[in-house]
Structure 1
Amino acid sequence: MTKPRVLLLEAAGPESGALVATAVAAGYQVHAATDLETHATFATDLKALLSGCLLTDFSRTEQALRDVIDYAHRRGIGAVLTTNEYLTELLAHVCAALGLPGNDPARAAAARSKAAMSEAFARHGVTAPRSRVVGTEDELLALCSARQITFPCVMKPAAGASSAGVTVVTSPAEATAAFQAAKVPRGMYGMDLDPRVLVQEFIEGTEYSVESITQNGTSTHLCVTRKTVTGGAHRVELGHALPAVLSPETEQTVLKEVDLAIAAVGIRNGASHTEVMLTPNGQCTVIEIGARIGAGQIGFLIQHALGIDPWAACLDTALGRPAHLAPTRSGYATVRFLTSPHPGRVATVTGLPDPSPRVPIVRVRKVVGQTVNGATDNTARLGSFVVVGPNQQSVDLYAEQLLDQIRIDVEPGDWPGSHSTTTET
């Protein structure tokens, strides 16, 4: 019996690459939809795995939808999925048009737009920060003057990703600059994004995420991820570790809120990544959710620590088959991200660990001579490494030892390209 063909909306990025490799190894023909510019960056080994490629313009949403549906019909596609934050709404509409397992297209925008997400959370009783959408600087200043915005607060793009343009604002004097930073367009593929700014209540606490797979409206939570985040105006992720261990009562509280969030944005079939904040008194607040597997190596951490294959699970879900989600091992894994202290040009990078059984992944995104930005969002990562082992104490200790050995020298200055932005998918 011929296996159905698989179409991946965007194949760039480590998560997409892992999904392609997993599907091909299982005997599936994998096709990709991307744009011309991104296709030019595909590695030779990735191109060799793909059975076909559709070039489209994702910034023209309706045309891209028609292109993907037409391609799927012509090539006999039986499953469509994505790991890309910017394409989850398109995916929901494609799956609905093709009659394939997917998410609710009528609510898919709420898993992308932070403004729509905030409204959906409020309607469905999700515990979330109080939020207000602001369209203009004059509106913002008027709200500040009327003391209708309390400080500290968080300002973020209404439809951004990777924490780009997100600022913790501590006083009205900082509000204008933060508002302008949040209005800078950062969409992939030249997409027109909602230009408004979301002003949210600041929640003090410890940040976690929950990684889930939903099939036919029933969610299985794979694990809770502990996040290491900087303080200050820009809360940049420095690392992830899993599985995080919470008390049974706290875990029950967290997963209840996550279930509400998944339902609120219409996730019915697929992976989700829900970011939550746990306050000192044990309250769980949902910050946001994405209708995709967690980026930043989280899928690889799950695979190494728990023995769950998240790529196979995503594929099975897209094919409408039961996914194998039970852990097969009881380990621990962490990723540490390398960042630059300021914008400039990379002069030297020394002390990177060599790949080994304890350090199965070492990735470098910027090399000597390339320009970099300061660590103001998650797009500024210079690289990362993953450490695995039997327990949290040994893994975290070894990861810190390795991190202490790495030296990154960045020549300061306004080098061409040092303020450009990219998005990790």
Structure 2
Amino acid sequence: MRAPRILLLEAAGPESGAIARTAAASGYQVHAATDPATHGAYGAGLRRLLSGCLLADLSRPERALKDIVGYARRIGADAVLTANEYLTPLLAQACAELGLPGNDPDRATAARDKAAMSEAFALHGVAAPRTRVLASEDDLRLLRAAGELSLPYVIKPADGAGSAGVTVVNDPASAAGAWHAAARSPRGMYGLPPDPRVLVQDYVEGTEYSIESITRHGTTTHLCATRKTVTPGAHRVEVGHCLPAALPPATERAVHQEVERAIAAVGIRNGASHTEVIVDRDRRCSVIEIGARLGAGHIGILLGHALGIDPWTALLDTALDRPAHLAPARRAYASVRFLTSPRTGRLVAVTGLPKEGPGVPAVHLRTAVGQTVGPAQTNRRRLGHFIVTGPDPAAVERQAEQILAQITVVVDSDRPPHRAGSPAVPGPGPEREATRAP
């Protein structure tokens, strides 16, 4: 019996790389499909894992679909999957043509494009913030003039990701700037055709969570809830994930019910989903958005440390139409904290980082000394991270905060202060003073 053959739509990135390594370690034959420009960034270790690689023009989805389906048939692919959010609609179409487990190709765009998502949520009765999809800044002016917007509200791009271009508007004077930030934010990857529309969404006050789930043949298993730590102010960037988050049983049931409605609304039938929700003080759940992928930000790694769940194997099993092992193998707790810059300037040093060891399994600085950094207004501007694990949630959170308090980010701000929004974490003292991580 031959080993399964896996086609991974994009092998670059932490989650994609983890899937590729897991598949290779399982004896599977691993292939990748990517854009020629991205392929140049594949490191030697990743290239050694791959039995083949298709270079496709991903900026032309129809052409790319034909190339991917043709390549999958030539290699006899047993599964096609992705961890890349931008490629999930293409994945659904490819799986449908190949007769492999996948999501509904007619609704897959709704798990990627937030304008289509808001329409799907409304159609399927998902509890979500009221959302207006606007084509121009004039539409925003008309809403404001008619008194139909109540402060605060959120302005975001229809096809953004990683908090790029998202602003919480607390002052009418900042609405125009927020609109332009959304309209001009970087769109997508691979030169995919952008959706230029902008969303205006009611702001929901409460605690932010994400629900990590895997669906097979339309039946969903929720792995856990992840509690989010986000920056205050106009730009809400995630600077911490903690799991599993404990919710009261009735609240958990209500959250799962809304998440399952959202999963059905966007046509997720086979694969992972990452659903962001807010639970307010009355324990009501609002679904903010959903992705047809596993959560990023090292959530997959946290699942392994806290619950003993191997999400990469689970994703491969689901794509291969096998039952996945999703029951927790242990009951522990894991938390990641991300480092951010207090101001714009040149990164001089990051001091006080812990050493990896028992209870601190990962410490990583992704930004090199000498690079220009700035306040975290998107997830891409985070400087690095560390992970803390242990059996007791309170002790893990306490240790994470203690470590964070010992880390100092030194930035030399010879250039003028960054003006695009408030700093994610205000820093004391003169421009060149060493400042604490958030």
Q: Does TM, scored on the shorter chain, surpass 0.5?
A: yes
CA distance in 2, matches of 1:66, 1:374: 42
Instruction: For residues 324-350 of structure 1, give each alpha carbon's deviation from its aligned partner in whole angstroms, at most 9, with x where no partner exists.
Output: 000000000000001111222211112
- Cα distance, 1:172 vs. partner? 2.3
User: Match of 1:234?
Assistant: 235
SS in 1 for 2:190: helix
Instruction: For residues 217-250 of structure 1, give each alpha carbon's deviation from its aligned partner in whole angstroms, at most 9, with x where no partner exists.
Output: 0000000001111111011111000000011111
The one-letter amino acid paired with 2:35 is D
Instruction: For residues 67-97 of structure 1, give each alpha carbon's deviation from its aligned partner in whole angstroms, at most 9, with x where no partner exists.
Output: 1111111111110111111111111001001
Flag the 1:373–1:55 CA change in 2: closer, same or farther, 3 A: farther
CA distance in 1, matches of 2:148, 2:402: 47
The one-letter amino acid paired with 1:72 is A
Contact 2:214 2:273 in 1 (8 A): yes
User: Match of 2:362?
Assistant: 361
- Cα distance, 1:414 vs. partner? 5.3
User: Match of 1:371?
Assistant: 372
User: Match of 1:388?
Assistant: 389
Map residues 26-425 of structure 1 onto 2, 5 A cutoff: 26-184=26-184, 185-412=186-413
The one-letter amino acid paired with 1:317 is T
Instruction: For residues 139-172 of structure 1, give each alpha carbon's deviation from its aligned partner in whole angstroms, at most 9, with x where no partner exists.
Output: 2112211112222100000111001000001132
Segment drifting more, 70-79 vs 259-268? 70-79
CA distance in 1, matches of 2:74, 2:372: 43
Segment drifting more, 272-281 vs 31-40? 31-40
The one-letter amino acid paired with 1:391 is D
The one-letter amino acid paired with 1:201 is D
User: Match of 2:8?
Assistant: 8
Contact 2:159 2:187 in 1 (8 A): no
SS in 1 for 2:322: coil
- Cα distance, 1:300 vs. partner? 0.4
TM-score by length of 1: 0.96
Flag the 1:61–1:146 CA change in 2: closer, same or farther, 3 A: same
- Cα distance, 1:188 vs. partner? 1.2
Q: Which runs of 5+ in 1 are unaligned?
A: 420-425
Alignment root-mean-square deviation, CA: 1.5
The one-letter amino acid paired with 1:330 is R
CA distance in 2, matches of 1:388, 1:20: 25
Contact 2:101 2:320 in 1 (8 A): yes
Aligned-pair identity (%)? 64
In the alignment of these two chains, the number of paired residues is 418
CA distance in 1, matches of 2:304, 2:280: 29
CA distance in 2, matches of 1:387, 1:88: 31
The one-letter amino acid paired with 2:190 is Y
Segment drifting more, 87-96 vs 364-373? 364-373
Instruction: For residues 170-218 of structure 1, give each alpha carbon's deviation from its aligned partner in whole angstroms, at most 9, with x where no partner exists.
Output: 1321111000000123311122210110000000000001000000000
Contact 1:35 1:56 in 2 (8 A): yes
Segment drifting more, 356-365 vs 250-259? 356-365
- Cα distance, 1:413 vs. partner? 5.1
The one-letter amino acid paired with 2:309 is I
User: Match of 1:422?
Assistant: none
Flag the 1:338–1:105 CA change in 2: closer, same or farther, 3 A: same
Contact 2:102 2:271 in 1 (8 A): yes
User: Match of 1:423?
Assistant: none
SS in 1 for 2:389: strand
CA distance in 2, matches of 1:55, 1:66: 12
CA distance in 2, matches of 1:80, 1:342: 42
The one-letter amino acid paired with 1:154 is V
CA distance in 2, matches of 1:225, 1:390: 16
TM-score by length of 2: 0.93
Instruction: For residues 35-83 of structure 1, give each alpha carbon's deviation from its aligned partner in whole angstroms, at most 9, with x where no partner exists.
Output: 1222222222111111111111211111111111111111111101111
Contact 2:214 2:271 in 1 (8 A): yes
Segment drifting more, 31-40 vs 263-272? 31-40
Flag the 1:108–1:414 CA change in 2: closer, same or farther, 3 A: farther
CA distance in 2, matches of 1:18, 1:74: 25
SS in 2 for 1:190: coil
Contact 1:4 1:76 in 2 (8 A): no
Contact 1:330 1:390 in 2 (8 A): yes
CA distance in 2, matches of 1:93, 1:164: 27
